[in-house]
Amino acid sequence: MNRPIRNIAIACLVLFAALLLNINYVQFVEADSLNDKNGNRRVIDEEFSRDRGAILVDGEPVAESVKSKDEYKFQRRYPEGGLYAPLTGSFSYIYGPSALENSQNRVLSGSDNRLFVNRVVDLVSNKQPKGGSVELTIDPLAQKAAAEGLQRLGKDTKGAVVALDPQTGAVLAMVSQPTYNPNRLASHDFSDVVKSYETYSRDKDEPLINRSTQQTLPPGSTFKLVTAAAALENGVVDNIDDRIKAGARLTFPGIQYSLPNENGGNCGGDRITFERALNVSCNVAFGALAGKVGQEKLAEQATKFGFGTDPIEGLASSASRFTSGDNKLEAPQLAQTGIGQFEVATTPLQMAMVAAGIANGGDVMKPYVVKTVRSPNLRVLEQAQPERLSQAMSSSNAAKLREMMISTVTRGTATSARIAGVDVGAKTGTAQSTPDRPPYAWFVSFAPADDPKVAVAVLVESSDTARDEIAGGRLAGPIARSVMEQVLEN
């Protein structure tokens, strides 16, 4: 009977080997993904009880953990309240971490692989593990200026501001209004957290979303920059003095519909210069240009500026779109698309990228918001490297478009962005959505022209302003200017 017993022994060996391999798989290979699963209370409890790293802006914490006396040992605090909420998100026990609290969780909680040595040292010395810190690219003064600018338009204002460093892609300001107070979601009083969250999520103004990256809306005339870029890049127009078709209405053969200008004017003649067309934001001229460029090339230009891809890592973001599908646009639809209507929908971040790309000689830099990641002992773990997303246009064409945007500030629709002694380029936009709601006021700009330091996109979705007074230049322009001033002063 010994042979079968030996075989049984081998079978038992196989069973135990399977057990050992399997627990190695569960506890080692699969462990990270299990730990990241939703609703894993062990991980939540542990991270909640940890000395979580701070999120810093210019050396000052905008999210930090302070000792608390309850069972979780630490309380997450957001000293600036809602100002940085779209960036930091909130570290909520019940609803989980959001925004950077979520995407930088591994560093902040100290479980990042690069902090492994720290963890081992903590383990050996029996210290509580600490998290690393994350320094943002935000300019605190610009951030404040952007938020105050939106608030000045009234407490019901909905809008967003994004400022970028055109040469690096660093996000200098990112504001969304209305916002929420992350302290109320990170509280350890869980019934209060639930109440706050319910209030926020039921609010029809959606304070929990980051309007600057998540919400896409028709960009209106600011999209004419993309159309202009496409016209230059594809040789439809060569110089800013070239005369192009304008006039009171753009008609289409065999179709009843015709495209008018914004205030019923004729843009100053049937044929005006390319520069003039942008200065006065001539719908007829850009509608016609869009038709000449064609859908394919125009879409291609939009893609080069970043349309169709999630623009930023670490924050919830939506891709901007040129059309809703792949369908072929009819001529009037293409013309409307060329002036930022029909199905074009962009985020403020995307429009800031367009302005930044034009300012930066046609090179669109990939936006980023995390500048430096440090270990608890302040060793630099990661330093952001500027990265080129694409070359949207040649530098000579970019220079032409810049010149046109500068003259739009000096003698066009964007005079509200003027800053004494600085060449500022800008473009306004006022996008119609449906007749029953106010139009969206847009403003994109950059400064200074020769060595761009800042590019801004401002969206005012709705405000307390009367409907017939809404225009990108008047509402959004001053906000863009004050943000640019703050950046330039530093």
Q: Give yes or no for residue 18 binding other proteins (CB under 8 A).
A: yes
**CA angle 245-246-252, nearest 5°?**
80
CA dihedral 95, 97, 100, 105 (to 10 degrees): -160
Q: Which is nearer to other proteins, 35 or 410 (CB)?
A: 35
Q: Give yes or no for residue 128 binding other proteins (CB under 8 A).
A: no
Task: Tell me how far apart the 2 most distant CA atoms of the chain are, in Å.
Answer: 108
Per-residue binding string, other proteins, 85-124, x by CB under 8 A, is --------------------------------------x-
Q: Which is nearer to other proteins, 66 or 120 (CB)?
A: 120
Asked if residue 48 lies in contact with residue 187, where contact means CB atoms within 8 angstroms, the answer is: no
Rounded to the nearest whole angstrom, what is the least distance from the CB of residue 46 to other proteins in the complex? Answer: 8
Q: Which is nearer to other proteins, 23 or 121 (CB)?
A: 23
Return the closest-CA partner of residue 173 out of 445, 474, 430: 445
Q: Which is nearer to other proteins, 71 or 464 (CB)?
A: 71
Preceding omega of 178 cis (within 30 degrees of 0) = yes
Q: Which is nearer to other proteins, 20 or 194 (CB)?
A: 20
Of 27-35, 213-221, 258-266, 386-394, the window that binds other proteins (rule: CB under 8 A) is: 27-35
Of 20-28, 189-197, 217-225, 293-301, the window that binds other proteins (rule: CB under 8 A) is: 20-28
Q: Give yes or no for residue 125 binding other proteins (CB under 8 A).
A: no
Among 27, 128, 251, 490, binds other proteins (CB under 8 A): 27
d(CA 250, CA 261): 9
**CA angle 113-117-121, nearest 5°?**
135
Q: Give yes or no for residue 324 binding other proteins (CB under 8 A).
A: no
Rounded to the nearest whole angstrom, what is the least distance from the CB of residue 70 to other proteins in the complex? Answer: 14
Please spell the DSSP secondary structure of 15-37, one letter per residue. Answer: HHHHHHHHHHIIIIITHHHHHTS
* Residue 486 structure tokens: 């703050």
Q: Is 465 exposed, middle or buried (0-12, 13-18, 19+ CB in 10 A)?
A: middle
Among 34, 117, 121, 380, binds other proteins (CB under 8 A): 34
Three-state DSSP state, 188 = coil
Q: Give yes or no for residue 195 binding other proteins (CB under 8 A).
A: no
Pairing assessment for the beta strands 440-447 and 425-431 based on DSSP bridges: antiparallel
Q: Which is nearer to other proteins, 3 or 67 (CB)?
A: 3
Q: Which is nearer to other proteins, 16 or 383 (CB)?
A: 16
Q: Which is nearer to other proteins, 16 or 190 (CB)?
A: 16
Tallying the residues shown for the chain, one arrives at 490
d(CA 348, CA 159): 9
Of 33-41, 159-167, 181-189, 446-454, the window that binds other proteins (rule: CB under 8 A) is: 33-41
Q: Give yes or no for residue 39 binding other proteins (CB under 8 A).
A: yes
Which residue out of 111, 221, 317, 375 is catalytically annotated? Answer: 221
Q: How many residues bind other proteins (CB under 8 A)?
A: 35
Our measurement of the distance from residue 404's CA atom to the centroid of its chain's CA atoms, rounded to an integer in Å, reads 25
Is 433 a known active-site residue? no
Q: Give yes or no for residue 451 binding other proteins (CB under 8 A).
A: no
d(CA 181, CA 192): 13
Rounded to the nearest whole angstrom, what is the least distance from the CB of residue 112 to other proteins in the complex? Answer: 15
Question: In Å, how far are 74, 75, 79, 352 from 46, measured between CA atoms?
Answer: 11, 13, 23, 39
Question: Does the CA dihedral 467-468-469-471 come out positive or negative?
Answer: positive
Q: Give yes or no for residue 26 binding other proteins (CB under 8 A).
A: yes
Rounded to the nearest whole angstrom, what is the least distance from the CB of residue 22 to other proteins in the complex? Answer: 4
Residue linked to tokens 């930044």: 356
d(CA 428, CA 221): 6
Q: Give yes or no for residue 41 binding other proteins (CB under 8 A).
A: yes
Rounded to the nearest whole angstrom, what is the least distance from the CB of residue 176 to other proteins in the complex? Answer: 32
Measured between its terminal Cα atoms, the distance across the chain in Å is 89
Q: Which is nearer to other proteins, 9 or 255 (CB)?
A: 9
Q: Give yes or no for residue 24 binding other proteins (CB under 8 A).
A: yes
Of 21-29, 338-346, 436-444, 468-476, the window that binds other proteins (rule: CB under 8 A) is: 21-29
Q: Give yes or no for residue 127 binding other proteins (CB under 8 A).
A: no
Among 35, 383, 410, 490, binds other proteins (CB under 8 A): 35
Return the closest-CA partner of residue 289 out of 259, 263, 326: 259
Rounded to the nearest whole angstrom, what is the least distance from the CB of residue 127 to other proteins in the complex? Answer: 14
Residue linked to tokens 């069973």: 15
Phi and psi at residue 147, in whole multiples of 5°? -65, -45
Neighbour tally for 381: CB within 10 Å: 15
Catalytic residues, by residue number, are 221
What is the contact surface with other proteins in residues (CB under 8 A)?
Answer: 1-6, 8-9, 12-13, 15-16, 18-20, 22-24, 26-28, 30-32, 34-35, 37, 39-43, 45-46, 123
